[in-house]
C-alpha cells in the first residue's frame, strides 16, 4: 500500500507539469504580495487577517485549477487504458483510486504550503511580522472548502470525460472574475475586501459573520457529498 502511495507521489511531485505549476504559483503569489497586499487591503494593514485572506482568495482559483488539472492526470486516456490491468492486480482498484486522491491532496497541500510560506517570508522581510499562527484559521476557511468542492466535482466529472473538467476550469476562471456577495461566492475575495468596509471604522478587527461560515460549510458539504457519491458510483460500475 505504502509502496503504491510512494510511487504515485513520485509520479505527481516529480512530474514536469507539477514543477512548472509550482514555479507559476511562486511567481504569481510574489507578484500579488508585492503589488496588492503591500498596499493593505480595504485600509487595513498589509499584515492584517483581511489582507492575508484576500491574498489567499486571489490565489485560490489558481490552486483550484491546478487541483482539477491533477484530477485529469488520473482520468487521462492512457490511465483508462490501463484500468483493465489494474483491476487484475491483487490490490483493489478502489484502494488505488483512494491513494491517487490522497496524492492529489498532498500535491495541493504542498502548493498551499508554498503560497503560505511565501507570504510569511514577505511579511517578515517587509514588516518584520512573525505572528503567523494568526493566519492558520484563515488558511483553513479559505482553502479547505474549495479543496473539498473541486475534489468532489473532479471525481464526479473526471470519471466521465476530461473535457468536462476543462469546461469546469473555464468556469473557475469566469468565477474568479465575477464579484458575488460573500454569502455565495466561492473564493472569498468579496468577503475579505468588502466586509471590513461594511463593518466600518478604522482597522476593523477580524470577524467572520454567520453568512460566510454557512457559505464555507455548504461548499465543503457539497464537495464531500459529491466525492463519496462519485465513489459509490465507481464501486457500483465495477460490478
Partner 1 sequence: MNFFGYARVELKRILSKKITWIVMIGAFFSPALSYWLNQSSNTSSTRTSMYLLNPAFVGAFVCVFLFGFFTISEFHDIYKNQMEVFTDAIVSPTIFYIAKLFVLIGFAILAQGMVVLLYFPYTKMKIGAMFRGSLYFEVYFTIMFPAILFSILFAASVYQIVRRADLSFLLFLIFILISFNQKMQQNFLLSWIKPLVAVLSDDFSNKRVMMTVYYNRLFWLCLMIGFCLFSFLCIRKYQKGIIGSFFYHIRKIYLPVLGIFCFILAAFLYQKQPFLDHSPLELDYENHYNINKYNQFLNYSKITAEIVPDVKKGTLQGNMTIELKNMSSNEQRMILTINPGYTISNVKANGKEVLVVDRQNDDFNEKQVEITLPAEKEILLSMEYGGFPREWSITETFQGDRQISSDYIYLDNTKFVPYIKVAPAINYLFEARITLPAHMMAVSFGRDDFVCISENEDGTKTWKLQQKGQGIIFYAADFTSEDLEAAGIPIRFIYSARHKEIMDKINIKETIKEVFEYCDEHIGALSFYGEEGMKLVELSAYSSGGYAGDGASAMAETCFSEEGLTDKNRGASGSEVMAHEIIHQWWGLGNMFMETEEEQEWSSEGLTVYTTYRLMKEKFGEEYAKENYVDLWQEGADKLKNNFYHRYPEYLEKLPESYVALIQNEQRPILKYQVMPLKILKAEQLVGGEEAMDKILKKLFQEKAYSYLTYEDFLNACGLTREDLELE
Name the residues that contact partner 1, by CB under 8 A.
17, 20-21, 24, 28, 31, 34-35, 38-40, 43-46, 62, 65, 69, 72, 76-77, 126-128, 162, 166, 169, 173, 202-203
Pick 203 or 205: Cβ nearer partner 1: 203
Is 79 buried (19+), middle (13-18) or exposed (0-12) by CB count in 10 A? middle
Give the nearest distance from C-beta 173 to partner 1 in angstroms.
Answer: 7
Question: d(Cα 39, Cα 19) in Å, to the nearest integer?
Answer: 30
| DSSP secondary structure, 54-101, as one string | HHHHHHHHHHHHHHHHHHHHHTSHHHHHTHHHHHHSSS-HHHHHHHHH
Give the nearest distance from C-beta 215 to partner 1 in angstroms.
Answer: 25
Give the nearest distance from C-beta 190 to partner 1 in angstroms.
Answer: 19
Question: d(Cα 22, Cα 27) in Å, to the nearest integer?
Answer: 9
Question: d(Cα 162, Cα 149) in Å, to the nearest integer?
Answer: 17
Give the nearest distance from C-beta 202 to partner 1 in angstroms.
Answer: 5
Pick 93 or 126: Cβ nearer partner 1: 126
The cell numbers describing 178, all together, are 465575477
Q: Alpha carbon of 145 to those of 80, 221, 223: distances in Å?
A: 29, 8, 8
Pick 17 or 229: Cβ nearer partner 1: 17
Torsion (CA) 114, 115, 120, 126 in degrees, nearest 10 = 120
Pick 93 or 166: Cβ nearer partner 1: 166
Give the nearest distance from C-beta 43 to partner 1 in angstroms.
Answer: 4
Pick 144 or 164: Cβ nearer partner 1: 164
Q: How many residues are there in the chain?
A: 239
Amino acid at each position: 500500500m505504502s509502496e503504491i502511495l510512494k510511487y504515485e507521489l513520485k509520479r505527481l511531485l516529480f512530474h514536469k507539469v507539477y514543477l512548472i505549476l509550482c514555479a507559476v504559483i511562486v511567481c504569481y503569489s510574489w507578484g500579488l504580495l508585492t503589488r496588492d497586499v503591500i498596499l493593505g487591503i480595504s485600509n487595513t494593514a498589509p499584515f492584517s487577517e483581511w489582507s492575508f485572506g484576500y491574498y489567499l482568495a486571489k490565489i485560490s482559483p489558481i490552486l483550484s485549477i491546478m487541483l482539477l488539472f491533477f484530477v485529469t492526470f488520473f482520468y487521462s486516456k492512457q490511465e483508462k487504458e490501463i484500468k483493465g490491468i489494474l483491476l487484475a492486480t491483487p490490490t483493489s482498484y478502489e484502494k488505488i483510486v483512494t491513494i491517487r486522491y490522497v496524492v492529489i491532496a498532498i500535491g495541493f497541500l504542498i502548493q498551499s504550503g508554498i503560497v503560505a510560506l511565501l507570504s510569511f517570508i514577505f511579511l517578515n522581510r517587509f514588516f518584520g511580522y512573525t505572528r503567523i499562527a494568526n493566519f492558520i484559521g484563515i488558511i483553513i476557511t479559505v482553502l479547505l472548502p474549495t479543496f473539498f468542492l473541486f475534489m468532489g466535482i473532479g471525481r464526479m466529472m473526471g470519471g466521465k470525460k476530461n473535457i468536462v473538467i476543462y469546461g469546469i476550469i473555464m468556469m473557475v476562471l469566469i468565477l474568479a472574475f465575477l464579484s458575488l456577495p460573500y454569502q455565495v461566492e466561492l473564493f472569498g475575495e468579496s468577503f475579505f475586501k468588502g466586509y471590513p468596509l461594511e463593518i466600518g471604522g478604522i482597522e476593523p478587527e477580524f470577524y467572520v459573520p454567520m453568512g460566510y461560515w454557512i457559505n464555507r460549510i455548504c461548499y465543503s458539504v457539497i464537495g464531500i457529498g459529491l466525492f463519496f457519491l462519485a465513489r459509490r458510483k465507481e464501486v457500483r460500475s465495477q460490478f
